[in-house]
Amino acid sequence: MAIVSRAARAAMMSSAMVAGSLMIPCSADAQRYESRYGILAGASVNTISDLDRGLAGDLGAQLNTKNRIGGQAALYARIPLKGALSLQPELHYIQKGGKVEVTDASIGNDAVDFSLKIGYVEIPVLARIDLGSGSWRPFITAGPTVALRTSCKLSFGSGSTNIATDCDSGDLGEGEEAASEDPIKKTDFGASAGVGIAGSLMGRSVFAQLRYNQGLATIAKDAPSSVSPKNRGFAVVVGLGF
């Protein structure tokens, strides 16, 4: 009986060890792909395609496209789908726009900067794939974006002189009615793709990522068929999960 009892205890211990060894990777895998919420922030370098071509027809001057630096902040959720694939919807406030430098002897020696600054509430819905199994691992994201314009400002500057106006203010005509309409659409549609690295720091999920954002629709309400200004830019973002 003692021999049977010892054999039974040994079998139970072996079973427990096997079960424990199976539960460890499953628990780690479940923790890795559990639903997470967090915040992210970053900076972006933005341009507007065809902005110089659109102004060239109006100004007839030499134009040089310049980048505009913007910021962004967001809330995000990460929802596991299958294996390494998850869905990452986000809610951003993001600054976009572009600049054009006008250089023409007919307007004087000083260059004139034309700037378009646009703020959006943007919702990217990104598919995310985590690669590898280490504590720090690369990942990729891609997906569509939709944005609602919250602010828009046009400005002209030369030297110490700067003139700025809201896009929807228009020029006042007779009877204080707007003589020109808002030239920029209230909504924008695009796509985002990026690569990054994710891991943990002090018990928190963290990641850093480089993204490319490309507008898929023109932001201008009325433009020639050959001119299609669209938002585009690169962004560096860091995220913190909870």
Give residue-wise pLDDT tens across range 108-162.
556 788 889 999 999 999 999 999 888 899 999 999 999 999 999 988 887 677 7
Please name which of 117, 181, 116, 123 lies closest in space to residue 148, comparing C-alpha atoms. Answer: 123
Supply the pLDDT for residue 3: 44
At residue 223, φ and ψ (nearest 5 deg) are -145, 150
Architecture of domain 35-241: Beta Barrel (2.40)
The pLDDT of residue 15 is above 60? no
Q: What was the pLDDT predicted at 60?
A: 52
Alpha-carbon distance of 29 to 123, in angstroms, equals 28
* Mean pLDDT score, 48-59: 67
pTM above 0.85, yes or no: no
Structure confidence by residue, pLDDT tens digits, 148-197: 999 999 888 876 777 888 988 755 444 445 445 788 999 999 999 999 99
**Residue-level pLDDT at 74:** 98
Confidence of residue 107 (pLDDT cuts 50, 70, 90): low
Contact 121, 79 (CB under 8 A): no
Cα dist from 140 to 51, 84, 175, 197, 227, whole Å: 30, 11, 55, 9, 32
Share of the chain above pLDDT 70, in %: 73
